[in-house]
Structure 1
Amino acid sequence: MNTASLKKASLKPLALLAVLPLALTGCVSTANENSDANGEVSLVKSGTLSVCTNTPYKPFEYEENGTIVGLDADIANAIASDLGVKAQLTSISFEGLDSGTGLATGQCDIALA
Protein backbone atom coordinates (compact mmCIF):
# COMPACT_ATOMS: atom_id res chain seq x y z
CA MET A 1 0.00 0.00 0.00
CA ASN A 2 1.39 3.41 -0.90
CA THR A 3 1.34 6.50 1.29
CA ALA A 4 -1.68 8.07 -0.46
CA SER A 5 -3.73 4.91 0.05
CA LEU A 6 -2.79 4.78 3.73
CA LYS A 7 -3.81 8.43 4.20
CA LYS A 8 -7.21 7.81 2.55
CA ALA A 9 -7.80 4.67 4.62
CA SER A 10 -6.96 6.46 7.86
CA LEU A 11 -9.27 9.41 7.08
CA LYS A 12 -12.43 7.29 6.70
CA PRO A 13 -12.79 6.51 10.43
CA LEU A 14 -12.06 10.14 11.27
CA ALA A 15 -14.76 11.31 8.88
CA LEU A 16 -17.23 8.93 10.51
CA LEU A 17 -16.31 10.24 13.96
CA ALA A 18 -16.85 13.80 12.75
CA VAL A 19 -20.32 13.04 11.37
CA LEU A 20 -21.53 10.83 14.23
CA PRO A 21 -22.22 13.65 16.75
CA LEU A 22 -24.19 15.51 14.10
CA ALA A 23 -26.30 12.44 13.42
CA LEU A 24 -26.94 11.92 17.12
CA THR A 25 -28.23 15.47 17.59
CA GLY A 26 -31.27 14.39 15.61
CA CYS A 27 -32.00 11.83 18.33
CA VAL A 28 -32.63 14.42 21.03
CA SER A 29 -36.25 14.61 22.15
CA THR A 30 -37.92 18.02 22.14
CA ALA A 31 -41.46 16.74 22.68
CA ASN A 32 -42.12 18.93 25.71
CA GLU A 33 -40.49 22.11 24.38
CA ASN A 34 -42.76 22.78 21.39
CA SER A 35 -45.95 20.97 22.26
CA ASP A 36 -49.19 22.02 23.92
CA ALA A 37 -50.99 20.35 26.83
CA ASN A 38 -52.43 17.71 24.49
CA GLY A 39 -49.00 16.81 23.15
CA GLU A 40 -49.66 18.53 19.83
CA VAL A 41 -46.62 20.14 18.23
CA SER A 42 -47.09 23.85 17.61
CA LEU A 43 -46.24 24.78 14.03
CA VAL A 44 -45.73 28.13 12.33
CA LYS A 45 -48.63 27.26 9.99
CA SER A 46 -51.26 24.77 11.16
CA GLY A 47 -51.13 21.48 9.25
CA THR A 48 -47.76 22.29 7.67
CA LEU A 49 -44.21 21.62 8.79
CA SER A 50 -42.33 24.66 7.49
CA VAL A 51 -38.78 23.65 6.63
CA CYS A 52 -35.96 26.07 5.80
CA THR A 53 -33.03 24.76 3.78
CA ASN A 54 -30.37 25.99 1.38
CA THR A 55 -30.53 24.21 -1.96
CA PRO A 56 -27.24 24.14 -3.88
CA TYR A 57 -25.92 21.04 -2.11
CA LYS A 58 -26.76 18.01 -4.23
CA PRO A 59 -27.56 15.23 -3.12
CA PHE A 60 -28.62 16.66 0.24
CA GLU A 61 -30.90 19.42 -1.01
CA TYR A 62 -31.31 20.83 -4.50
CA GLU A 63 -34.03 22.05 -6.81
CA GLU A 64 -35.36 19.84 -9.56
CA ASN A 65 -38.19 21.10 -11.79
CA GLY A 66 -39.01 23.82 -9.24
CA THR A 67 -39.26 21.39 -6.31
CA ILE A 68 -36.74 20.99 -3.49
CA VAL A 69 -35.59 17.37 -3.40
CA GLY A 70 -32.76 15.34 -1.89
CA LEU A 71 -31.86 13.60 1.34
CA ASP A 72 -32.89 16.51 3.58
CA ALA A 73 -36.21 16.84 1.73
CA ASP A 74 -36.82 13.13 2.33
CA ILE A 75 -36.06 13.59 6.03
CA ALA A 76 -38.40 16.60 6.21
CA ASN A 77 -41.18 14.65 4.52
CA ALA A 78 -40.69 11.72 6.93
CA ILE A 79 -40.88 14.05 9.95
CA ALA A 80 -44.00 15.73 8.55
CA SER A 81 -45.59 12.35 7.86
CA ASP A 82 -44.86 11.27 11.44
CA LEU A 83 -46.57 14.45 12.66
CA GLY A 84 -49.52 13.89 10.31
CA VAL A 85 -48.90 17.12 8.36
CA LYS A 86 -47.42 18.17 5.00
CA ALA A 87 -43.87 19.50 4.63
CA GLN A 88 -43.30 22.84 2.92
CA LEU A 89 -39.64 23.41 2.06
CA THR A 90 -38.27 26.90 1.51
CA SER A 91 -34.76 27.81 0.41
CA ILE A 92 -33.16 30.59 2.44
CA SER A 93 -29.56 31.79 2.71
CA PHE A 94 -27.17 29.51 4.56
CA GLU A 95 -26.40 32.41 6.89
CA GLY A 96 -30.11 32.51 7.83
CA LEU A 97 -29.93 28.82 8.70
CA ASP A 98 -26.62 29.02 10.51
CA SER A 99 -27.60 32.04 12.61
CA GLY A 100 -31.06 30.66 13.40
CA THR A 101 -32.76 33.72 11.90
CA GLY A 102 -35.22 31.56 9.95
CA LEU A 103 -36.30 29.88 13.18
CA ALA A 104 -36.27 33.01 15.36
CA THR A 105 -38.43 35.01 12.93
CA GLY A 106 -41.02 32.24 12.60
CA GLN A 107 -40.19 31.60 8.97
CA CYS A 108 -39.76 27.89 9.63
CA ASP A 109 -40.36 25.20 12.22
CA ILE A 110 -37.10 23.35 11.49
CA ALA A 111 -33.94 23.96 9.48
CA LEU A 112 -32.26 21.21 7.48
CA ALA A 113 -29.04 21.69 5.54
Structure 2
Amino acid sequence: MNLDFAKSDGLVTAVIQDHASGRVLMVGYMNQEAFNKTVETGFATFWSRSRKKLWLKGESSGHRLVVKEISTDCDLDAVLVKVEAQGPGVCHEGYESCFFRRLDAGEWKVADNPTYDPGAVYGGKS
Protein backbone atom coordinates (compact mmCIF):
# COMPACT_ATOMS: atom_id res chain seq x y z
CA MET A 1 0.00 0.00 0.00
CA ASN A 2 1.46 3.36 -1.05
CA LEU A 3 0.43 6.99 -0.73
CA ASP A 4 -1.48 8.36 -3.73
CA PHE A 5 0.77 11.13 -5.03
CA ALA A 6 -0.91 11.03 -8.46
CA LYS A 7 -4.24 12.41 -7.28
CA SER A 8 -3.07 16.01 -6.64
CA ASP A 9 -0.29 16.71 -9.13
CA GLY A 10 2.28 14.61 -7.28
CA LEU A 11 1.53 16.00 -3.81
CA VAL A 12 -0.16 14.85 -0.63
CA THR A 13 -1.45 17.25 2.01
CA ALA A 14 0.52 17.08 5.26
CA VAL A 15 -1.24 18.17 8.44
CA ILE A 16 1.35 18.90 11.12
CA GLN A 17 0.22 18.39 14.71
CA ASP A 18 2.03 18.79 18.03
CA HIS A 19 2.35 15.25 19.38
CA ALA A 20 1.93 16.32 23.03
CA SER A 21 -0.82 18.96 22.90
CA GLY A 22 -2.66 17.86 19.76
CA ARG A 23 -2.63 21.41 18.39
CA VAL A 24 -2.47 21.71 14.61
CA LEU A 25 0.69 23.68 13.85
CA MET A 26 0.60 23.98 10.06
CA VAL A 27 -0.43 22.41 6.79
CA GLY A 28 2.08 21.75 4.04
CA TYR A 29 2.53 19.55 0.99
CA MET A 30 4.85 16.64 0.33
CA ASN A 31 5.86 15.03 -2.91
CA GLN A 32 7.34 11.52 -2.89
CA GLU A 33 10.87 12.85 -2.35
CA ALA A 34 9.85 15.09 0.56
CA PHE A 35 7.93 12.23 2.17
CA ASN A 36 10.90 9.88 1.77
CA LYS A 37 13.27 12.48 3.29
CA THR A 38 10.87 12.98 6.20
CA VAL A 39 10.85 9.24 6.90
CA GLU A 40 14.62 8.81 6.38
CA THR A 41 15.78 11.81 8.44
CA GLY A 42 13.05 12.08 11.07
CA PHE A 43 12.63 15.80 10.29
CA ALA A 44 9.56 17.16 8.48
CA THR A 45 10.41 18.05 4.89
CA PHE A 46 7.98 19.58 2.41
CA TRP A 47 7.64 20.52 -1.23
CA SER A 48 7.48 24.29 -1.59
CA ARG A 49 4.85 25.00 -4.23
CA SER A 50 6.00 28.61 -4.62
CA ARG A 51 9.75 27.92 -4.78
CA LYS A 52 9.37 24.58 -6.58
CA LYS A 53 11.91 22.82 -4.37
CA LEU A 54 12.27 20.70 -1.27
CA TRP A 55 12.03 22.59 1.99
CA LEU A 56 13.31 21.27 5.30
CA LYS A 57 11.13 23.01 7.88
CA GLY A 58 13.46 25.00 10.09
CA GLU A 59 16.33 25.28 7.61
CA SER A 60 16.31 29.08 8.03
CA SER A 61 14.96 29.48 11.56
CA GLY A 62 16.35 26.39 13.25
CA HIS A 63 12.78 25.59 14.32
CA ARG A 64 12.81 22.03 13.01
CA LEU A 65 10.01 19.52 13.42
CA VAL A 66 11.05 16.14 14.85
CA VAL A 67 8.70 13.45 13.55
CA LYS A 68 7.12 11.25 16.22
CA GLU A 69 4.41 9.50 14.18
CA ILE A 70 2.94 9.49 10.67
CA SER A 71 -0.59 8.35 9.77
CA THR A 72 -2.53 8.50 6.53
CA ASP A 73 -6.19 8.96 5.69
CA CYS A 74 -8.50 6.41 4.11
CA ASP A 75 -7.81 7.69 0.57
CA LEU A 76 -4.01 7.61 1.05
CA ASP A 77 -3.77 11.22 -0.24
CA ALA A 78 -3.08 13.05 3.03
CA VAL A 79 -0.81 12.46 6.00
CA LEU A 80 -1.02 13.46 9.64
CA VAL A 81 2.48 14.06 10.97
CA LYS A 82 2.78 14.30 14.74
CA VAL A 83 5.88 16.25 15.68
CA GLU A 84 7.91 17.79 18.45
CA ALA A 85 8.76 21.35 17.48
CA GLN A 86 12.35 22.43 18.15
CA GLY A 87 11.83 26.10 18.73
CA PRO A 88 9.28 28.58 20.02
CA GLY A 89 7.07 28.58 16.94
CA VAL A 90 6.28 27.05 13.58
CA CYS A 91 4.70 30.04 11.85
CA HIS A 92 6.98 32.40 9.91
CA GLU A 93 4.93 35.29 11.34
CA GLY A 94 6.19 34.54 14.87
CA TYR A 95 3.47 32.31 16.32
CA GLU A 96 3.49 28.79 17.74
CA SER A 97 0.97 27.70 15.09
CA CYS A 98 0.08 29.01 11.65
CA PHE A 99 -3.53 28.89 12.88
CA PHE A 100 -3.34 31.97 15.10
CA ARG A 101 -6.37 33.81 13.65
CA ARG A 102 -10.00 33.08 14.51
CA LEU A 103 -13.17 34.21 12.78
CA ASP A 104 -15.02 36.49 15.18
CA ALA A 105 -18.23 38.22 14.08
CA GLY A 106 -17.21 37.89 10.44
CA GLU A 107 -13.66 39.22 10.92
CA TRP A 108 -10.35 37.40 11.24
CA LYS A 109 -8.73 38.36 14.54
CA VAL A 110 -5.39 37.40 16.01
CA ALA A 111 -6.18 35.02 18.87
CA ASP A 112 -2.66 34.11 20.07
CA ASN A 113 0.39 35.95 21.30
CA PRO A 114 3.60 35.82 19.25
CA THR A 115 6.19 33.39 20.59
CA TYR A 116 9.24 34.85 18.82
CA ASP A 117 10.37 37.81 16.72
CA PRO A 118 10.43 36.76 13.06
CA GLY A 119 12.56 39.79 12.15
CA ALA A 120 15.33 38.53 14.42
CA VAL A 121 15.09 35.01 12.97
CA TYR A 122 14.60 35.77 9.27
CA GLY A 123 16.31 39.16 9.05
CA GLY A 124 13.12 41.09 8.35
CA LYS A 125 11.86 38.67 5.67
CA SER A 126 8.77 36.83 6.95
Structure with a larger share of its residues in helix? 1
Structure with a larger share of its residues in strand? 2
Q: TM-score, normalised by structure 2?
A: 0.23
Q: TM-score, normalised by structure 1?
A: 0.24
Larger Rg: 1
